[in-house]
Amino acid sequence: MKAMTRSNPSHRGWLAGCAGLAVAALAGAALPSYYASLLIDGFAFAIFAMSLNLLLGYAGLASLGHAAYFAAGAYAAGLVSLHLSQDFWVGMLAGIAAGAFTGAFFGLLALRTTGVYFLMNTLALAQIAWAVAFTWRSVTGGDDGLRSIKRPDLGVPGLDLTSNSAYFVLALATCAAAALLMRALTRSPFGRTLAGIRESAARMDALGYNVWLYKYLAFILSAGFAAAAGVLFVYAKGFVSPEAASITVSAEALLMVILGGAATLSGPIVGAFAIILLSNIASSYSTHWTLLLGILYIVVVIVAPQGIVGAITASSTRARGAQP
């Protein structure tokens, strides 16, 4: 009888998560517009960092060109909004498709190499994406970018996303959905195979796994998640420029993953919000705030090379082990 009435821990976790999301949505809806906008940026970059973590943390592929897929999603959604439809789902699907297609093409080129050569290939391909966005003025608007992109229509009567408080709820829900999808993906046989490839590609190849194909699929999936982040971002800001495909954006995503903790689900999310909030605070006091972020990065790498979440997890594990 006790076994029948005992609560399932996974059910309690789901209920707690749903309750937390509901509280966060209500709290966010009551925030001033500026702070809601700041958190919206955090949600968009959390998805972006999670996408890079799929490559870096699980497949062991460090990329300096991830901004290309972020920009592809942003530009695709912007063009759809300006010329075709302001429906959120149409823009999101178009953005993800554009990012995944770009990732499929770039992956064919980048995965011909490994190590530092792979890293440099991703950087070079992202520079090509930036050049296309900068020079193809008739489509992308050139250095002026795409402007006057309106907030999307979610298809819910009476729901107006023009206010930051309302868009905050959409951004929160999108980030939560992306996190759940990423959780399912990384805990699936596919995700476990990627982890095995990260540890020893030669061993997985000897066991009969098509290592290149798994890496290629991870590349495409990662690009699709990055594009979704770009869609969320462009609808929030109302514009997109070639800067979205720059190495600066790629480096920020890499910093978010390493700061929060690679190969963890919550690490990239923590890292994204930490960087967004710290950048906002530091820029209010100094024009050299990027230097402060650089120093922070060095300190974290030295003190906690496994990242914030990794350090907390390791510390709690040691504490439990020390208990009698």
Residues facing 146 on adjacent strands: 240
Beta carbons within 10 angstroms of residue 146's beta carbon? 21
pTM of structure: 0.93
Beta carbons within 10 angstroms of residue 217's beta carbon? 17
Place of tokens 């460090």: 62
* Amino acid 1: pLDDT: 42
147 three-class SS: coil
**Cα 227 to Cα 231: distance, rounded to the nearest angstrom:** 6
Helix (H) or strand (E) holding 183: helix 164-186
Task: Kindly state the tokens that stand for 84.
Answer: 């075709």
* Amino acid 3: pLDDT: 46
* Amino acid 10: pLDDT: 55
Q: Is 37 left (phi over 0), alpha (psi -120 to 50) or beta?
A: alpha
* Amino acid 215: pLDDT: 98
* Amino acid 145: pLDDT: 98
**Cα 156 to Cα 268: distance, rounded to the nearest angstrom:** 31
**Cα 160 to Cα 324: distance, rounded to the nearest angstrom:** 56
Three-class HEC string of 223-245: HHHHHHHHHHHHHHHCCECHHHH
* Amino acid 4: pLDDT: 44
∠ CA(178), CA(180), CA(185), 5° rounding?
95
> Which parts of the chain sit beneath pLDDT 50?
1-7
Number of H helices, E strands in the chain: 15, 0
* Amino acid 9: pLDDT: 54
* Amino acid 66: pLDDT: 97
* Amino acid 289: pLDDT: 79
